[in-house]
Amino acid sequence: MNTDISQSSSERRWLIFSAWFSILLVSDLPNIICDAVFSQVPSWLFGAKAGFLVLFYGLCFIWKNLRLLRSYAFVMVVFYAALAASEWVKSSAWWEGLINDEIRPSFMLTYLRPYLRDIGVTLVVIAALWIVKRSRSGFFLVKGQLDAPIERVRWLGIRQGESWRTFGWIFALVAALGVAVPILLTIRPSSDIFLRVAPLLPAILVFAAINAFNEEMYFRATLLSTLPQVIGKNHALLINVAFFGLAHYLYGSPSGVVGLMMTGFLAWLLGKSMLETKGFFWAWFIHFLPDVVIFFSYAITWVRQ
């Protein structure tokens, strides 16, 4: 699915507009608007988004001005088809029967079912990205250059010549602390709670690792492996910020405007690491540490029940 990326300035502007329009339409922005106006998200909205993506993918074949977005549209169609399949599995009787509602399931089992489905979605997305790119490095499914130079960002104190090997650790620890402080102030766990949660630490680490990997693949790699060469790195990064941030507005930890801002900034940082190191390791690790804190809070909630 390789394409000729030569384009005039007017074609480039149209491609940028089309990419932004399509991602905002299929993001959680319509969900947020419906929730604000009607206090609920209609059940047909997801189907409408999937239908739009199929139409958009078809237009990429018919309309010459959209042909360079064909790979992006294909991967997004597959992603939403996988999400639809996951929801179908979730509602099936045999899947519901995996946990006996009369008996309280373990913490591991409580989160195992949704993450088994999530892994399935990720594997389907990886297959789609392989079809488009034909190599793991083409969609960042490699470690990458861990000591790659990091592009200067003055307002973050990053100078010319700094490397991701240094700042990757700093960003990961700061991100984890930024999540931990509001969570701990909210739930105020006692020393006894920490002792009760300690046996769940292996499960916490496993689920944090899986969640970070899954989201880096289907939120980040889908966009950053198909868009930068068509609409430029900056627009691709900002589109990723919008897509990832909006996805956490209603259901994130934390949610709302704070969650949107935190996850939006995190998306920019993780996307930057992927593009500059040409791999997923730092994006995954910086994502993983805050997720450990989040799953730790879930474990606290579980042991308190």
Q: What is the per-residue pLDDT across 203-237, written as a single tens digit (0 to 9) for each?
A: 999 999 999 999 999 999 999 999 999 999 999 99
pLDDT in the model for residue 2: 45
The lowest-confidence range among 15-29, 89-103, 241-255, 280-294 is 89-103
Residue 33: exposure state from Cβ atoms within 10 A (0-12, 13-18, ≥19): exposed
Higher pLDDT, 182 or 118: 118
pLDDT at 20 over 90: yes
Paired tokens of 187: 């739930």
Q: How far apart are CA 199 and CA 106, in angstroms?
A: 12
Q: What is the per-residue pLDDT across 36-85, written as a single tens digit (0 to 9) for each?
A: 999 999 999 999 999 999 999 999 999 998 999 999 999 999 999 999 99
Q: How far apart are CA 26 and CA 218, in angstroms?
A: 14
Q: How far apart are CA 268 and CA 240, in angstroms?
A: 7
Q: What is the per-residue pLDDT across 267-279, written as a single tens digit (0 to 9) for each?
A: 999 999 999 999 9
Residue 62: exposure state from Cβ atoms within 10 A (0-12, 13-18, ≥19): exposed
Q: What is the per-residue pLDDT across 85-135, written as a single tens digit (0 to 9) for each?
A: 999 998 887 777 765 555 567 888 888 888 999 999 999 999 999 999 999
Q: What is the per-residue pLDDT across 136-164, written as a single tens digit (0 to 9) for each?
A: 999 999 999 999 999 988 888 888 889 99
pLDDT in the model for residue 98: 67
Q: If we measure between CA atoms, which residue out of 39, 117, 98, 115 comes closest to residue 298? A: 115
pLDDT in the model for residue 103: 56
pLDDT in the model for residue 290: 93
> Which residues, other chains included, contact 302 with Cβ-Cβ below 8 Å and sequence gap of 6+?
107, 110, 200
Paired tokens of 269: 């940082």
pTM for the model stands at 0.91
